[in-house]
Chain A
Amino acid sequence: MADEARKKEILEKLRNGVIQYDEDACREGANEALEAGLDANEAIFDGLVSGMEEVGRLFEAQEYFVPEILMCADALYAGLDILKPHCRQMDMGIKGSVVIGTVEGDVHDIGKNLVKMMFDVAGFTVYDLGRDVPLEKFVEEQLKTDSELVCLSAMMTTSMVGMPKIIEKIKEKNPDCMIMIGGAPTSKELADRWGADGYAEDASNALKEAIKMVAFLKKLRDEKLKKQ
C-alpha cells in the first residue's frame, strides 16, 4: 500500500487532470497509481470521478460549457483506460448492464456519451448501440443481454416521439427493466406518461443524474468497506 501523502498526491493529479482537461496528466496519474500500488477502483472514484463531480459543478455555475465537458471526458477516459483492467471485478456488490443509444431519426450523441461514460466508470457493462438506432434494436438488445437498464436519448423534438413505442415494447416483454430517457425535449411529465423510470433533460442533467447514481454506488462501496 502506498503511503498516504503519495496517495493523496496521485488522487489529486487524477482529479485535477480531469478538471483541467489534461489527458496526459490523467494518463500519468493512472500509471503512477498502479506503480504505487493504489487500488484501481479508489483511483477511479476518488480521483477521476471526484474530478468529474467538480466539472459538473463548474458546468452548473456556467464556468464550463459543453466543449470543456467533452474535453474533461476525454481526460477521464485517458485515465480510465489504464485503470480499468486493474479493477477488482464488481466489488460493489452491484451487477449491472445497460443498453444505451440515441433513437432513430436523431444523430446527436453527446448527452448519450456522457451518460455512457458514467456507466463505464461505475463498472457497468455498457451495450452502446450508437445513434440513429431503430426502435426494434433497443428491444432486441435488451432481450439478448437481459440488461436491467435501457437508456434512450434524443436531442430533437422531432425524434423523441419514437420513445413511447420502445418503452412499451420493452416493458411488455420485460416489466422489470428500468428505462431512462434523456435529451433536451424530454421532461418528467413525458417520462411519467410514457412509463419511463427516469429522465434527464440535458447533458449536464444527464451528467448530474449519472453522477448521483455513481455517487450512490460509491456510498455503498464505502459502507461495505467499513463493515469489512
Chain B
Amino acid sequence: MNSRERVLKLFRGGEVDRVPCFSGMGNVTETGINKLGYRFANIHLDAKQMADTAASTYKLFGYECGVVPVDLCVEAEALGCVINVYPNAEGILYPTIKEKLVHNEGEMDGVSIPDNLADKGRIPLMREAIRLIKEDIGNQVAIGSYVLGPFTLAGQIMELNDLLKLSFKKADKVAKLLDVMADAIIVVAREYEKAGVDYITVREMGATSDVLSPRVFKSLILPPLQKVHKAISAYSVLHICGKTNDIVTFMMEANPTAISVEQKNNVAETRKKLGRDALIFGNFDPYNVLVSGDEELVRTTMRKCIDDGVSAVWPGCDIWPTVPPKNMAAMMDEVTKYGGKR
C-alpha cells in the first residue's frame, strides 16, 4: 500500500495498514525551498515554484501528501483584498491582507461575489499549481488543498474586532455575510476539485471556542460550514484551532469526511465522544514539538497522538518551514513503526 492508497482508503472509511502521517495544511520546509533555490516570498506567486516546493516535503521526507497553497490569502485576494507577500523579508513571513474589502458595518451588505471569481487573483495560478503537483507526485500521494471557513474569511475581508462584536450584536447581519463567504468558498473549492485535488481542508480557524461560545458556533458558524461541506465533492476535512472539545460534535454536524484538531484538543476524549469510526486527524504542536523539540519529544508525541486515537497523525497547524530535517525524519520513522500497532 503506498501513501496515496493509504490516505485515500482512510478517507473512504476502509482499513489501513497503519496510521498515515500527512496534512491538509501548509507543510513546505526551508530545506526544500533552499534545495530548489527558491525564495519563500516568491513561491506564492509562481505555480511551478509553489508546486515544486510543496512536492519537496514528500520527496525529501516521505511526508504522505502534496498540499498547495502555502499561504492563507488566496480567497480574500480573489474577492478583492490586497495582500502583502513581504517581498523583501529576510526570514520567512507569510502573506497577510494589507487592504480589506469591508471598512465598516455599512459596507457588509454590499459584499458580493464577482461573476468571474474563478479567474480572479491567484485562482488560475492555484489551478495550475494543483495540476503540476498532481502530475509530479500524484501517483504516490494524495493531493490536497485548503480553503478558509466562512467566518475566518469574513475576518480577513473586514476587521476581526468588528466581526466578533457584530456576531453578538447583529448576528443576522453576520449570518448573511457568512452565507456570501460560503458561496465564494464553494466557487474556489470547485475550481480546486476540477484541477484534480483529492481532498480539501476547510480551515475555520477564527471560530475556535477560545473565542466564540459553543452556542454561537452552533447558531452562526455551523450553518455556512454545512453549506460548504455539502458542496465539496472531494473528501473534506474541517479544521478548527484551539480548544475544540466542546464543539467536536458540532464539527461532525458540518458533515466533513474528517475533522482536524490541534494540540489543545484532548483527542482521547474526542475519540470517546465521537466513536471509533469517526475520522479524527491531529493533533501535535507543529512548532513546540516539531521545530523546537528534540527527536525524543517528536517520537513520544507521535506515539501519544496514536495512543489517543487519531486516525491520521496530522499537525495542529501549518508545519513551520524551519523544521529541522532530523525531526521530520523522526516523525515519519515513528509513525511508520508505531502507527500499525494500535
Interface of A with B (CB < 8 Å)?
A: 62, 65-68, 70-71, 74, 104-110, 113, 132, 156-162, 184-185, 187, 189-190, 193, 202
Question: Is A105 a contact partner of B288 (Cβ separation < 8 A)?
Answer: no
Please measure, in the bound complex, the distance between the C-alpha atom of A161 and the C-alpha atom of B292, giving whole angstroms: 11
A159-B94 in contact given A66-B212, A110-B164 (Cβ < 8 Å): yes
A67-B212 in contact given A132-B96, A157-B317, A159-B94 (Cβ < 8 Å): yes
Question: Is A107 a contact partner of B165 (Cβ separation < 8 A)?
Answer: no
Nearest-CB residue, chain B, relative to A63? B213
A190-B288 in contact given A67-B168, A157-B318 (Cβ < 8 Å): yes
Question: Is B320 a contact partner of A158 (Cβ separation < 8 A)?
Answer: yes
Q: In whole Å, how far is A127's beta carbon from the nearest beta carbon of chain B?
A: 20
Please measure, in the bound complex, the distance between the C-alpha atom of A141 and the C-alpha atom of B169, giving whole angstroms: 37
Nearest-CB residue, chain B, relative to A132? B96
Q: Map CB proximity to A onto B312-331 as digits: 1 under 8 Å, 0 otherwise.
A: 00000110101000000000
Q: Can you list 24 contacts pairing A with B, beta carbon distance less than 8 Å?
A: A62-B213, A65-B212, A66-B210, A67-B165, A67-B168, A70-B161, A104-B89, A104-B93, A106-B96, A107-B97, A108-B160, A109-B161, A110-B160, A110-B161, A132-B84, A157-B318, A158-B94, A158-B317, A161-B92, A161-B320, A162-B91, A184-B210, A189-B288, A190-B288
Interface of B with A (CB < 8 Å)?
A: 84, 86, 89, 91-94, 96-97, 160-161, 164-165, 167-169, 210-213, 216, 241-242, 286-288, 292, 317-318, 320, 322
Please measure, in the bound complex, the distance between the C-alpha atom of A109 and the C-alpha atom of B89, giving whole angstroms: 21
Question: Is A113 a contact partner of B161 (Cβ separation < 8 A)?
Answer: yes
Residues from chain A with a CB closer than 8 A to the CB of B93 are 104-105, 158-159, 162
Q: In whole Å, how far is A5's beta carbon from the nearest beta carbon of chain B?
A: 34
Nearest-CB residue, chain A, relative to B155? A108
Q: In whole Å, how far is B275's beta carbon from the nearest beta carbon of chain A?
A: 26
Question: Is B288 a contact partner of A71 (Cβ separation < 8 A)?
Answer: no
Q: In whole Å, how far is B318's beta carbon from the nearest beta carbon of chain A?
A: 6
Question: Is A161 a contact partner of B322 (Cβ separation < 8 A)?
Answer: yes
Residues from chain A with a CB closer than 8 A to the CB of B317 are 157-158
Residues from chain B with a CB closer than 8 A to the CB of A157 are 286-287, 317-318, 320
Question: Is B287 a contact partner of A185 (Cβ separation < 8 A)?
Answer: yes
Question: Is A161 a contact partner of B161 (Cβ separation < 8 A)?
Answer: no
Nearest-CB residue, chain A, relative to B287? A157
Nearest-CB residue, chain B, relative to A113? B161
Residues from chain B with a CB closer than 8 A to the CB of A71 are 165, 168-169
Please measure, in the bound complex, the distance between the C-alpha atom of A158 and the C-alpha atom of B71, giving whole angstroms: 10
Q: In whole Å, how far is B213's beta carbon from the nearest beta carbon of chain A?
A: 5
Please measure, in the bound complex, the distance between the C-alpha atom of A67 and the C-alpha atom of B162, giving whole angstroms: 9
